[in-house]
Structure 1
Amino acid sequence: MSITATATLVLTASFVIMLLMRFPIALTIAGSTLLTIMYLDVPWVVVGQRMIKGLDSYSLLAIPFFILAGQIMSEGGLATRLINMAQLLVGAIRGGLSLVTCIACMFFGSISGSAAADASSIGSVLIPAMKRKGYKPEFTVGLTSAAAIQGVVMPPSHNMILYSLAAGGVSVSALFLAGIIPCLILLVTLMTTAYIIARKNNFPKGDPIPLKEVPRIMREGFLSMMTGVIILGGIFSGWFTATEAGAIACLYAFILTFFVYKDVPLSHSVIILKKTFRTVAMVLFLIAASDAFGWVLAYLKIPAMVTDLFLGFTDNPYIILLMINLLLLLLGAPMDMAPLILIMTPILYPVVTSLGMDPVHFGIVMILNLGIGLLTPPVGTVLFVGCAIGKVSIDKGARALLPFFFAMIGVLFLLTYVPQLSLWLPNTFLGK
């Protein structure tokens, strides 16, 4: 066996073993990289250099800004105001609270950029409310978990920034714009599925909102949604970059939460900053370790081997894209989303570009695909959050999720094979 083949085996085996031993994913990536470097007799300093290089990117500044903005708004009662806004729009329809959940998750996702934050913030309010109204507990969990996935597709998704870095600098602004139409398609699909189930089970209509409350709800809802408007409006108009949009969104969220809504005291900002720093530190270490891992992949020519493997199997782009989607769906079950983006993008990117697939289009497909993986055990982070809030077992929650899961798979393949759904806005506004 050649040195390259043996090193590839060392990298793969050590990664899988540490993953099965439940090492933290960032340590798993770093550990398997170090073991492979030792076998190849490459100086250890290379790993340190690659990790530092992985963090040397201006685009990375957007991640702490967006995480901080989402954390501020999450702590400041934003979820309740967005829910009230959504209820004003669709609450009176049969199964109205289920439709409110879908819309509220999209609203909140346009601010937090996180599916787990979406599920916990919206779910903590709406899952108990739906259960009190007679909705089946497992349905509330399945719906909320599925609707929360909109947070990874709707800008400002942190995962789009990770993909941009892993793909070698794909425009973050283009990715943000590309996620809007897919998210709206996903929203309509989930709402349609929820409405059909609600009609079948005769779930109740929502409570009417007193007329005198409407102006306040609209005002507070509009102010809350302005965070997303600032981000997207600035990018649409070309006034500022995604990183600058994140900084402005932080400032707006801070003023709105502490000086307009005043739901939490200013002293609470220390707790918010601690939570943000903890999250940012984990993300940055993961990025640094993944950059070193990616260097080892390139050194061993694994991306080229994978490209040859796919193209040697068939030259039909539709079949290759189907195989890539199935591969990502399978990998999304045992692994979390962020590390998969950082690991699989350098491997699959040469494959899709050889097919002529636009990098922005592939980014949206990959992000939705791996977002669906957040719903599938044994990892299934978002599903676990929903089940914990709804006090429902994982198996019941997973069964109730199935109609939404298959609906999302349908959206995934629609986006895969109709690239203009993702590319129209970037092409129109950024001239890609």
Structure 2
Amino acid sequence: MSFTDPFTICIVTLVGLSLIGLPIGHSMIAASIVYLWLAGLDMGTAAEQLLNSMFTSYTMLAVPLFILAAEFMNSGSMTTRILHFANALVGRFRGGLAQVNVLQSLLFAGMSGSALADAAGMGKMMTRLMTQDGKYPKSFAAALTAVTSVVAPILPPSIPMVIYALVSNASIGFLFLAGILPGLLISFVQMVLVAWMARRNNYPVEAPVPLKKLPGITIRAFPALMLPVVLIVGLRGGVMTPTEAAAVAAGYALFVSVVIYRDIKWKEFYFSLQSAARTTTSIGMLIAAALVFNYVVTIENIPNAVSSFLLQYDLNPVTFLIMVNLILLLLGAVLEGSTIILIFVPVLVPTAQALGVDMVHFGVVVVFNTMIGLVTPPYGLLLFVVQRITGATMGSILKDTMPFLIGLLGSLAAVTFIPDLVLFVPRLFGYTG
């Protein structure tokens, strides 16, 4: 490949613009236009690909709708009721608030679909509760909030899995089901680690919620807890498509908040729409830019070239997945998860298919890797979010993150090498992969 080759100049442009601070979405569009110009192609193709890809993808409509559902829950009291329910279950144990942090992330994950939404929403509330009166060090509260937020995109609904389905043609419904056991595994490992650290550091025991109050707390939280159940039953019962399920999620969250809990007024409704629109615009710009850049990658026949290069080494599915894990973990340290899925995963999919790797299993492995990247320095977007929330130093946060990062890597190994852990639930609902 020559340094004057259009694709080489395209990559240099992409990296250069990113390094000087231009958003990655804008950098990809600019680099793609430079490629089209140097290759003598119609530069209007960039706009054509952007518009065609965005407006003809019914699947993509699920992303803003899931975001809107999360905003409605945050604006009302759904998230607070989930927190009270989690506290009633595990708050009585040593390190109870830390255990509540893990459990609320597991419960809230079935509603937000976004690690950042979890950390910025319920995570902000949890760090405040954990650090008030000096109960827990700020660094520990921040680290725990960051790592527990990782579970959100693993469990259904998951925005990264919707994006993965877009580039791989895998079933969104089965991807959602495939994330259930891995998500439960992540939370279980984190709760074990919290229990061990709580005893070692003598973290406080909270006043237990009387058992006689548990039924009332459960009833008040029940409508909020039913959202993921409604989605899974609707999807696997054939009642709705994934995009329709996203619309149902937003409608259900609004109905519960307005009619049952009665805590969203016109003002909160407006701000929810406004916030969802801002988030959707940010994600949509990234997806649109990646689709244009993927057109350039397709013209250069990069996926097939990479597939041929990898297959010449006589890889088997296990060695391929090990290599993919290493690549994605390294990329996750410097790039945002959606960027990785949109740019790099389409290059790996042909090889995975040629080796017989199940696309649903592969999707969970990919998303898991990109979520670990959110708590891996130097990029670690979740680490920066919790640092801003708590004010703890990054060094102390990283130190407290390490045991949980080891737990996440152990869980990733289990998900990678035991496909049945991922595919067990989808097969119960008719998946034949």
Q: TM-score, normalised by structure 1?
A: 0.95
CA distance in 1, matches of 2:386, 2:220: 26
| Deviation (angstroms), 1:378 | 3.0
The equivalent residue for 2:257 is: 257
- Native 8 Å contact 1:258 1:266 kept in 2: no
Q: 2:49 maps to which residue? A: 50
In the TM superposition, residue 356 of structure 1 has moved relative to its aligned partner by 0.8
Q: Secondary structure at the match of 1:150?
A: coil
Which sits farther off after the overlay, 7-16 or 130-139? 130-139
Aligned length: 430
> Post-superposition shift, 1:357?
0.4
Q: Which amino acid aligns with 2:19?
A: L
Task: Give the letter aligned to residue 18 of structure 2.
Answer: L
Q: Counterpart of 2:5 in structure 1: which amino acid?
A: T
2:43 aligned with 1:39: no
Query: Residue 17 of structure 2 contacts residue 27 of structure 2 at CA under 8 Å; is this kept in 1?
Result: yes
| Structure 1: distance between partners of 2:314 and 2:22 | 37
Deviation above 6 Å: which 4+ runs of structure 1?
none
Code of the aligned partner of 1:375 = V
Do residues 141 (structure 1) and 134 (structure 2) align?
A: no
For the residue of structure 2 that corresponds to 1:430, the secondary structure is coil
CA displacement at 1:431 relative to structure 2: 2.9
Matches within 5 A, 1:68-147: 68-132=68-132, 134-147=135-148
Residue aligning to 1:156: 157
Corresponding residue for residue 215 of structure 2: 215
Q: How does 1:171-250 map to 2 (within 5 A)?
A: 171-211=171-211, 213-250=213-250
Alignment of 1:267-286 (within 5 A): 267-286=267-286
CA contact (8 A) 1:182 1:422 kept: yes
Compute the displacement of 1:160 (Å).
0.7
Q: Deviations over 1:327-356 (max 9, x none)?
A: 111111111111111111211111211221
Inter-partner Cα distance in structure 2 for 1:423 and 1:220: 34
**Uncovered stretches (5+) of structure 2, i.e. residues with no partner:** none
**Residue 317 to residue 252, structure 1, CA distance change in 2 (3 Å):** closer
Whether the aligned pair in 2 keeps the contact of 1:80 and 1:125 (CA below 8 Å) is no
SS in 2 for 1:170: coil
* 2:166 partner letter: L
CA distance in 2, matches of 1:121, 1:414: 30
Equivalent position of 2:318 in the other structure: 318
SS in 1 for 2:312: helix
Q: Which residue of 2 aligns with 1:396?
A: 396
**Do 1:314 and 1:320's aligned partners in 2 also have CA atoms closer than 8 Å?**
no
The equivalent residue for 1:423 is: 423
Describe the SS at the equivalent of 1:151: coil
Structure 1, unmatched stretches of 5+, are none
Q: Could you tell me how far apart the structure 2 residues matched to 1:412 and 1:238 are?
A: 31
Contact map agreement 2:2 2:8 (CA 8 A) in 1: no
CA 186–206 in structure 1, closer or farther in 2 if over 3 Å, else same:
same
Aligned-pair distance for 1:212?
5.5
Q: Partner of 2:17 in structure 1?
A: 18
The residue type equivalent to 1:165 in the other structure is: L
Cα distance 1:211–1:410, how it changes in 2: closer, same or farther (>3 A)? Answer: closer
Question: How do 1:400-419 residues align onto structure 2 when only pairs under 5 Å count?
Answer: 400-419=400-419
Alignment of 1:318-337 (within 5 A): 318-337=318-337
Does structure 2 conserve the Cα–Cα contact (< 8 Å) formed by 1:152 and 1:371? yes
CA contact (8 A) 2:174 2:431 kept: no
Structure 1 position 211, deviation (Å): 4.8
Tell me how far 1:227 sits from its aligned partner: 1.4
- The offset of 1:78, in angstroms, is 2.4
1:178 touches 1:423 (CA, 8 Å); kept in 2?
yes
